[in-house]
């Protein structure tokens, strides 16, 4: 199991700048609305508004904030239409708030009911946004449903099943729309189970239109297309029995000019390549940007970023469409910064490289991208599965150089603003597991005094060169919004919203919100005033908890924030960062050797997905196991094996964990509890 980122020739008012509700090009999106995740179908995350600019932003203040009825935070980009802000929440929630006041207008509950299979149980708490189409709000749920709501009152219009949670599937990404269709993929949460695919549904009726599988299936069952038949030749022996992956868990963009859907996919699994069969090759269509005919789902072209991936270098990151002037020629291009650390500019019609991809963070798994073949020239030292020690320190980490957090493009500066991550990570084959699992030391960079940081990078996609870069904080920071006011906004996992000058990166303004921010802000003009709107809250919905013990999520409430010039609303003083007090554990210190065995159980069953790396959790609706009460420890086996808390979302592990292993798992949790307790000021480990 994987453990687990030059100016243009076209102004914003050009042909790729926007689309109307029918999906056809228009002059530009309405300044009073933000109907698409990136403000246009091309997902550029740019606004032509200028009232808030590099001269006036110093007076920016809070216009209003709204406490949302959710224990878990929100990470999707706020969508705005007809004076209402639409936002997704965890556990199948949708909220509509008045854009002028923040007052809740209506809410919707998809009625997700636990227990669910483990992948869906985790995915139910993840949400990356909504889609709007005319008078519909479209949401996807962790239990694999796609739902359309009446935008005026939140009443359900239709519901369709988009995947089966029993097949290790869940939906964590936002739906995308275009030309009367809604497009959705799914995730297997790096379990490696099953084949990835993307679906298209009729936006008005919910009728299923087509499905494109991203990896081939069992040859004996026949192939769905010639493309998949060709792809099967790039996989190893008996691949359909032992391999999976290729899920399209987030990055999708509709091109109204070409009527193409661009889809990004994750890697193959198991993560360690030797366990994916003899004779394996590129393993198409994993780690690819794939172009599909939006009407039929027919394969058009693909570009693979990391053939034969062994590092979890997904290409499921945001995909952006832009018209660039390259030399003397205007080019219609697709741009992506996938996990592998390189920046790609591809011809949108053919998928061919426009220019030489360069690395946006330090990279040690490949020396460069060969322009003749389009392939990376991989370096042997990073192939941990081939080294003598079966381990290697790699950069980027499996979290990636760039994650799902949106990047933005500013046509005035010609720059793309990318939230990047640097954290060299130790990967090793897991000798305790015979099916190709690996161990990933996420904190290797911290313990070895290596770079462990998130940065905001302003990148020139034509010259393939960084213009400026600013350190932001720990890895895993928010998406970006750029504006014609020469500004770029970014939120942080530590709870700050920051504005920089777009041309040179000068920090001009910031405000501490007290809640972690990962999604990108949006901006609209209402009654003559420009608002910047951003969603925030605990990292339960997005994975901030992975880095919580190195200044990650501040643990603030789920909130929507709106800012305007001279805004003067004050946040409650309780927004100060809470103390992370660990009570004295209710049971004696465990045997260390037993706790070490429990660590293997914890990792093998992906407990970190919900309860945090090394049990450093406790955000949103998920409990911090280090604070477990005496009663919880008394019921420990019943909770893990017997389903005593399955109705609260705790999966049942009676098929993968034995009674003896439960004791080891409990010892591991207790050891982490005692370690945290001892680390607090005034506690003595000997008493």
* Burial (0-12, 13-18, 19+ Cβ within 10 Å), 425: buried
Domains of the chain: 46-575 (2.140.10.10), 592-679 (1.10.760.10)
DSSP H or E run through 660 = helix 659-679
Farthest-apart Cα atoms in the chain, separation:
74
Task: Please answer whether residues 375 and 367 qualify as being in contact, where contact means their C-beta atoms are separated by less than 8 angstroms.
Answer: no
For residues 643-653, average pLDDT = 89
Q: Identify the band that residue 133 occupies on the pLDDT scale cut at 50, 70 and 90.
A: very high
Q: Identify the band that residue 6 occupies on the pLDDT scale cut at 50, 70 and 90.
A: very low
Instruction: Measure the CA–CA gap between 424 and 450, rounded to whole angstroms.
Output: 7
Determine the pLDDT at residue 73: 87
CA distances in angstroms from 580 to 98, 547, 618, 624, 660, listed in the order given: 34, 14, 10, 11, 32
Q: Identify the band that residue 16 occupies on the pLDDT scale cut at 50, 70 and 90.
A: very low
pLDDT in tens, 437-481: 788 888 899 889 999 999 999 999 999 999 999 999 888 899 999
Determine the pLDDT at residue 409: 98
pLDDT in tens, 469-489: 999 988 889 999 999 999 999
- Cis peptide before 579, with omega less than 30 degrees from 0? no
Which positions ≥6 away from 104 have C-beta within 8 Å? 66, 69, 95, 96, 97, 98
For residues 660-668, average pLDDT = 95
Helix, coil or strand: residue 315: coil
Instruction: Measure the CA–CA gap between 201 and 100, rounded to whole angstroms.
Output: 33
Given a cut of 70, whether residue 550 has pLDDT beyond it is no
Given a cut of 50, whether residue 7 has pLDDT beyond it is no
pLDDT in tens, 154-206: 999 999 999 999 999 999 999 999 999 999 999 998 877 889 999 999 999 99
Average of per-residue pLDDT values in the chain: 90
Encode 352-400 in three state secondary structure: CECCCCEECCCCCCEEEECCCCCCEEECHHHCCCCCCCCEEEECCCCCC
| Phi-psi sector, 495: left (phi>0), alpha (psi -120 to 50), beta | left
Task: Please answer whether residues 183 and 260 qualify as being in contact, where contact means their C-beta atoms are separated by less than 8 angstroms.
Answer: no
């Amino acid at each position: 199991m994987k453990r687990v980122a030059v100016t243009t020739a076209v102004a914003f008012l050009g042909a790729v700048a926007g689309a109307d509700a029918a999906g056809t090009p228009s002059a530009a999106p309405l300044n009073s609305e933000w109907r698409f995740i990136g403000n246009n179908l091309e997902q550029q995350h740019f606004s032509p508004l200028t009232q808030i600019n590099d001269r006036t932003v110093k007076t920016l203040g809070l216009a209003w904030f709204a406490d949302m009825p959710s224990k878990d935070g929100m990470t999707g980009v706020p969508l705005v239409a007809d004076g209402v802000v639409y936002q997704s929440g965890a556990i199948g929630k949708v909220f509509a708030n008045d854009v002028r006041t923040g007052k809740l207008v209506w809410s919707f509950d998809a009625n997700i009911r636990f227990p669910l299979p483990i992948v869906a149980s985790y995915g139910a708490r993840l949400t990356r946004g909504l889609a709007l189409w005319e008078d519909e709000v479209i949401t996807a749920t962790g239990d694999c449903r796609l739902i359309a709501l009446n935008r005026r009152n939140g009443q359900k219009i239709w519901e369709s099943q988009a995947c089966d949670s029993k097949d290790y599937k869940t939906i964590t990404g936002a739906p995308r729309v275009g030309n009367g269709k809604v497009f959705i993929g799914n995730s297997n949460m790096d379990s490696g189970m099953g084949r990835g695919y993307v679906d298209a549904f009729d936006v008005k009726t919910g009728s299923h239109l087509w499905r494109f599988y991203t990896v081939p299936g069992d040859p004996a069952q026949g192939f769905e297309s010639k493309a998949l038949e060709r792809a099967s030749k790039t996989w190893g022996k008996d691949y359909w029995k032992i391999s999976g992956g290729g899920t399209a868990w987030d990055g999708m963009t509709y091109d109204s000019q070409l009527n193409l859907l661009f889809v990004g996919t994750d890697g193959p699994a198991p993560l360690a390549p030797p366990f994916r069969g003899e004779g394996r090759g590129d393993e198409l269509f994993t780690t690819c940007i794939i172009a599909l005919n939006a009407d039929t789902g027919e394969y058009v072209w693909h570009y693979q970023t990391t053939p034969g991936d062994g590092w979890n270098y997904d290409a499921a990151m945001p995909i952006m469409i832009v018209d660039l002037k390259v030399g003397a020629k205007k080019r219609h291009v697709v741009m992506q910064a996938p996990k592998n650390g390189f920046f790609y500019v591809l011809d949108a019609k053919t998928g061919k490289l426009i220019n030489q991809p360069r690395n946006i963070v330090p990279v040690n798994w490949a020396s460069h991208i060969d322009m003749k073949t389009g392939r990376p020239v991989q370096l042997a030292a990073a192939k941990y599965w081939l080294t003598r020690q079966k381990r290697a320190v790699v950069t980027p980490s499996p979290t990636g150089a760039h994650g799902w957090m949106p990047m933005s493009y500013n046509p005035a500066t010609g720059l793309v603003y990318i939230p990047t991550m640097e954290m060299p990570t130790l990967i090793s084959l897991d000798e305790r597991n015979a099916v190709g699992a690996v161990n990933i030391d996420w904190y290797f960079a911290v313990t070895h005094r290596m770079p462990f940081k998130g940065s905001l990078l302003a990148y020139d996609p034509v010259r393939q060169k960084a213009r400026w870069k600013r350190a932001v904080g720990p890895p895993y920071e928010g998406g970006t919004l750029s504006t014609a006011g020469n500004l770029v906004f970014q939120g942080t996992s530590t709870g700050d919203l920051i504005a920089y000058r777009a041309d040179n990166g000068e920090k001009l303004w910031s405000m501490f919100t007290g809640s972690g921010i990962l999604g990108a802000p949006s901006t609209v003009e209402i009654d003559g005033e420009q608002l910047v709107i951003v969603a925030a809250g605990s990292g339960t919905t997005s994975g901030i908890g992975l880095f919580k013990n190195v200044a990650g999520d501040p643990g603030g409430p789920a909130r929507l924030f709106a800012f305007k010039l001279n805004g003067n609303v004050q946040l409650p003083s309780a927004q100060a960062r809470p103390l992370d007090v660990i009570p004295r554990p209710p049971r004696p210190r465990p045997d260390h050797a037993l706790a070490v065995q429990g660590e293997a159980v914890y990792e093998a069953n992906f407990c970190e997905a919900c309860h945090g790396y090394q049990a450093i959790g406790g955000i949103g609706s998920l409990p911090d196991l280090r604070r477990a009460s005496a009663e919880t420890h008394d019921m420990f086996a019943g909770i893990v094996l017997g389903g005593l808390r399955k109705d609260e979302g705790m999966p049942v592990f009676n098929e993968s964990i034995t009674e003896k292993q439960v004791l080891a798992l409990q010892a591991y949790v207790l050891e982490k509890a005692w370690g945290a307790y001892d680390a607090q000021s005034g506690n003595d480990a000997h008493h």
